[in-house]
Structure 1
Amino acid sequence: MTTVVAAGRRVLPRGYADLARQLVIWFGFLFVYQIARGLADRHPARAFANGIRVIDFEQRTTHHLFELTFQNLVSSSSFLADAVSWTYWNSEFTVVCLALLWVYIRRHDAFPRFRNTILLANVLGLVGYVFLPTAPPRMFPWLGFVDSHRNGLVQLAANPYAAMPSLHAADALILGIVLATIVRRPIFRLLWVLWPAWVWFCVMATGNHFWLDILAGDLVALLALAAVYRRPIRRFVAKAR
């Protein structure tokens, strides 16, 4: 026991008590958030109407459904299909949790703002789910989309109409920006710079989001970053003048 305590003091920046407090904050928020997300507006007619509006907008602006093109591309390769499926299921929680833990231990000074940005983005996303329930592409099979996750792991209290905004996209952008600025090795910096684009591709290729959902998610991420990092941003702008 003494060895474990000593190891914790060496590795953990503020000891076991603070780590426990952070775990309570994160998993407590995650539990409440998932329940609230699951209880958000589930009215199918409204969600499908909003989904059709998204499709109409994309077809009018680009004359193409890129999500369908990406899904057809992925279906031609079992390796690519497994990769995008793994990314979809793990990028939102597994990768985010591991990133939070790494920043907490290795870059602790950056942790509070990083954590608060993730939390704020998810709260903003919940507002979107309440006021704008939207069916994802996979719920429009007559357009050629395939529901590749109908037999997959079902998230706790999942809301099938929580597509707008894409929090996969929002969290990926936050991770990409924050981690690219605090990791030291160039190769890891490059990987985090590329991470958001890969996640955006995956959530479209699995039929879970339209590109308009991703754009909305990116806006949510930028709003959260601007709110939490407003002082560092002001200092940076002041120095640049």
Structure 2
Amino acid sequence: MPLPAQHQRPRWWTELMLIAVVYAAYSAGRLLARGDVSTAVDHGLAILRVEKALLVDAEHPLNRLFTDTPAIGIPADFAYATLHYLVTPAVLVWLFRRRPAHYRAARTWLMVSTLLGLAGFTLMPTCPPRLLDAAHGFVDTMAQYSAYGWWGGEASAPRGLGGMTNQYAAMPSLHVGWALWCGVMLWRHGRTPLVKALGVAYPLLTTVVVMGTANHYFLDAVAGAAVMGVGALLGPYAMRLAGRVTGRFAHRATPAVLPVVGGGCETSAGERIPGQRTSSEGADDSTQAAAR
């Protein structure tokens, strides 16, 4: 008996295409969600005022540390420009190969949360700390240390491609959101203390890096975690909806089964279908075969 769809291992090429489509939509949406620069600056300053009122504005001391200490700032810039795009796919592949029973739910959680983050970029374009006026005391470490890496002075994108990114998509921080997803997957499905420890350390390290490099506010990181929480709640509903749609298409694609001639038909007492043998005839044949 074939396994139900939710227990079957997904095909790697369909998964690759699905992830590519969602990521392309996410990237294109970030570009289309570019808002008014003055509005984005106002949002960034408003976040900064709220953080100061709550005494959680950790961006300033971290940014000064990263700016004054190249031994910390340069690796942090490499981490910001690299790990977001390497660790997340690596965890997806690891789940697909090693934990296939949990892969589908984990992938759906990540995708739903990513789309929620895109909605956040659209509704609240936010200027990151590094793009605020210098009077606010932030230094763009990506620009300061750009000679050490492949990124340009205007974004973490490769040199010359900064114009292809939305630099005002700071709220929520999906760097933190994706890192939290990776951490949960490593903690939940890892089998060694080292893997579980990496699951705890990676999102914490990412949170420090995004603030120290002046790419995000602390509340951006909080919003990134909140988006992942909402995505985790909506993931099961998204899976059920996808299952219904897939089942409907599969049902339409299934060819109709032709009825078997005579299937389910009954004859009245004494009536015989042409060529039908009676039970007594069958018994006589069996007796003769046994006598032989």
Q: Does TM, normalized by the shorter one, top 0.5?
A: yes
Q: How much does 1:94 deviate? A: 1.3
Between the aligned partners of 2:71 and 2:195, the Cα distance in structure 1 is 23
User: 1:229/1:74 Cα in 2 relative to 1: closer, same or farther (>3 Å)?
Assistant: farther
- Of 143, 147, 157 in structure 2, the residue corresponding to residue 154 of structure 1 is 157
Query: 2:221 & 2:63 partners in 1: Cα distance?
Result: 16
In structure 1, the partner of 2:265 is none
Give the share of equivalent positions with the same residue, in percent. Answer: 28
Corresponding position: 1:177 with 2:184: yes
- Correspondence 1:26 to 2:19: yes
- Which one has more relative contact order, counting CA pairs under 8 Å at least 6 apart? 1
**Corresponding residue number in structure 2 for 1:222:** 229
Counting only pairs closer than 5 Å after superposition, residues 1-20 of structure 1 correspond to structure 2 as 18-20=11-13
Contact 1:179–1:192 (Cα < 8 Å) also in 2: yes
| Match in the other structure for 1:115 | 107
1:133 aligns with 2:125: yes
Structure 2 residue runs of 5 or longer lacking an equivalent are 1-7, 238-292
Give the alignment of 1:1-241 within 5 angstroms.
18-62=11-55, 65-140=57-132, 141-150=134-143, 151=146, 152=151, 153-154=156-157, 157-228=164-235
Count of aligned pairs between the two proteins: 215
TM-score when scaled to structure 1? 0.83
Deviations 1:36-85 (A, max 9, x none): 111103310110010110111111221x6310101112234323222211
Take 1:14 and 1:214, find their aligned partners in 2: how far apart are those partners? 34
3-state SS of paired residue (1:134): coil
Q: Which has the higher helix share?
A: 1
- State the secondary structure of the residue aligned to 2:63: helix
Is the 8 Å Cα contact of residues 135 and 163 (structure 1) preserved in structure 2?
yes
1:139-186 alpha-carbon deviations (Å, 9 max, x no partner): 122212111224524277311110011111111111111221101001
Q: Residue 120 of structure 1 contacts residue 224 of structure 1 at CA under 8 Å; is this kept in 2?
A: yes
Q: Contact 2:31–2:166 (CA<8 Å) still a contact in 1? A: yes
Give the counterpart letter for 2:165 in structure 1: A
What is the CA-CA distance between 1:229 and the residue it aligns to?
5.5
1:41–1:131 contact (8 Å) kept in structure 2: no
TM, length-normalised to structure 2: 0.69
Please identify, of 68-77 and 52-61, the stretch whose mean Cα deviation from structure 2 is larger. 68-77
Return the offset for 1:111. Answer: 0.8
Considering only CA atoms, is the larger Rg found in Structure 1 or Structure 2? 2
In the TM superposition, what whole-angstrom CA distance separates every residue of 1:111-150 from its partner, at most 9, and x where no partner exists? 1111111111110011111110000000122212111224
- Structure 1 residues not aligned, in runs of 5+: 1-12, 231-241
Residue identity matched to 2:157? V
The SS at the match of 1:164 is: coil
Question: Does the 8 Å CA contact 2:73/2:141 hold for their aligned counterparts?
Answer: no
Q: 1:198 to 1:229 in 2, by over 3 A?
A: farther
